[in-house]
Structure 1
Amino acid sequence: MMTLSQISARMGALAAASALSATLLFAAPQAHAATNGSYYKAELAQPTTAKPKLLRSVFVKCEGTSCRAPLASTAPKNMCISIAREFGEVSAFTAGERVFTAEEVAACNSDNAKAVAKN
């Protein structure tokens, strides 16, 4: 048989776990929503006036030389190539905290040029 202090300790642990779960349930989606509009960030070599386009299941919006898009279920390299194909040469690209190297950006533009040549 459990004593009153054991029951009290278990109830306290249950309350703490419930509070933590509720915090994660509401705080985590809010944190994701705050960054939802700009997970992918691309700088273009030339300004564009193109309207937002659906690429890889998300809308990419560009203003001048800056393009932004929320997180998509695609590899960052594929998003970079798609942006280069639709909006022009990319000069810088980030996916979340990952900053593409100059070589990776060049590969995005190169893969885009190969795709355009095939068509």
Structure 2
Amino acid sequence: MMTLSHFSARLGALAAASALSATLVFVAPQAHAASNGSYYKIELAQPTAAKPELLRSVFVTCEGTNCRAPMASTAPKNMCVSIARKFGAVAAFTAGERVFTADEVAACNADNAKAIAKN
């Protein structure tokens, strides 16, 4: 038989769990969004004076040879190629924890060169 004190304890535990869940629902995405501003880190071969540009649904911001962008819903290689098209040759590219190899960066620049040749 459940007494009033058992019921109160269970109700209190449920309320605490609900409050914790609600907090995580609102705080976790905010923390992710704060760190999301520099998911992509790019070093260009040449400095650029370009203004922030919308590429693949995110804004890419550059200062000199350093560019940054939040995570986009595209493959990192596609983002690399898009950046090479818009800002020039890429010297280094990082997507989150993944650092592109020299061959992968060369492929980004080569894909960009192919696209330019088609136009």
1:71 maps to a residue whose letter is M
CA deviation profile, 1:65-95 (whole Å, cap 9, x unmatched): 0011112111111110000111011111111
**Secondary structure at the residue paired with 2:37?**
coil
State the TM-score, normalized to the length of structure 2.
0.88
Tell whether 2:49 aligns with 1:49: yes
State the TM-score, normalized to the length of structure 1.
0.88
**Secondary structure at the residue paired with 2:2?**
coil
How far apart are the structure 1 equivalents of 2:3 and 2:115?
72
Structure 1 stretch 56-65 or stretch 21-30: which is displaced more? 21-30
1:78 maps to a residue whose letter is N
| CA RMSD after TM alignment | 1.6
Unaligned runs of 5+ in 1: none
Query: 2:19 corresponds to which residue?
Result: 19
Query: 1:90 corresponds to which residue?
Result: 90
How far apart are the structure 1 equivalents of 2:5 and 2:107?
65
Percent identity, please: 84
How far apart are the structure 2 equivalents of 1:61 and 1:16?
42
How far apart are the structure 2 equivalents of 1:95 and 1:47?
20
Query: 2:70 corresponds to which residue?
Result: 70
Query: 1:104 corresponds to which residue?
Result: 104
Query: Alpha-carbon deviation of 1:31?
Result: 0.8
How many residues in Structure 1 have an aligned counterpart in Structure 2? 119
Unaligned runs of 5+ in 2: none
2:109 maps to a residue whose letter is N
Query: Alpha-carbon deviation of 1:23?
Result: 2.2
**Secondary structure at the residue paired with 1:112?**
helix
